[in-house]
Amino acid sequence: MSGRPGGVLAAFRHVDAAAHAVRQVKELGYKDFTVYSPVPNFEVMSAVGHRVSPVRVWTLVGGLTGCLSGYAMTMWMSYDYPLVVGGKALGSVPPYIIIMFELTILLGALATLAGLAFHTFRTHRAAAYDPRFTNDLIGIFVPCPAERQAAVQQALQQAGATEVRVEQ
């Protein structure tokens, strides 16, 4: 990873320790730290304290778009080249509801993915990483200039990190 800022990387085996560490780091006034976890852990996440992800807006918008475009498409196409089948009305809504429904789901889902991608990449921060973070360790990386690293290192140590390492 190029352009990664220097900082302190700590690994935790215990979830409560990790949560504690997060709070410590926040007290030290750091906001742009990164927490790694093999599973979404409520305790840690609440310590970090993010607001609810805005992805849901994407889902809503996508769903609505699908529904409306479904209606518009079926109706317009029915009248653009009017052909009668089975003595039914040209634009008969009941069958079209199915198309509307399917498009609702389809666009809803795709929009959700788009939202997921968009927001994760937008909130991406370059940070140091250790492969064990997807296995059984929780990690915290605090980017900080060299002169303050000692302090952070100590705080994390006290919080109960199993190991702490300084990244240049």
Residues 100-159 that bind other proteins (CB under 8 A): 101-103, 105-106, 108-110, 112-113, 115-116, 119-120, 123-125, 127, 129, 131-136, 138
Closest CA to 22 of 53, 52, 40, 49: 49
What is the Cα–Cα distance from 97 to 74, expressed in whole angstroms? 9
Binding window for other proteins (CB under 8 A); candidates: 3-11, 23-31, 96-104, 147-155:
96-104
What residues does 88 pair with on adjacent strands?
Answer: none
Lookup: tokens for 55: 């992805």
Helix 146-159 / helix 15-27 crossing angle, nearest 10 deg: 140
**61 touches other proteins (CB under 8 A):** no
Binding window for other proteins (CB under 8 A); candidates: 2-10, 23-31, 48-56, 145-153:
48-56
Q: Cα 96 from chain centroid?
A: 35
**DSSP code at position 38:** S
How many CB atoms are located within 10 Å of the residue 156 CB?
27
Residue 72: CB minimum distance to other proteins, A: 12
Q: Which of 6, 23, 38, 158 binds other proteins (CB under 8 A)?
A: 38
Residue 147: CB minimum distance to other proteins, A: 26
**2 touches other proteins (CB under 8 A):** no
124: three-class secondary structure by DSSP: coil
Residue 153: CB minimum distance to other proteins, A: 19
Site for other proteins in 73-92 (CB under 8 A): 73-74, 77-92
Q: Which is nearer to other proteins, 120 or 154 (CB)?
A: 120
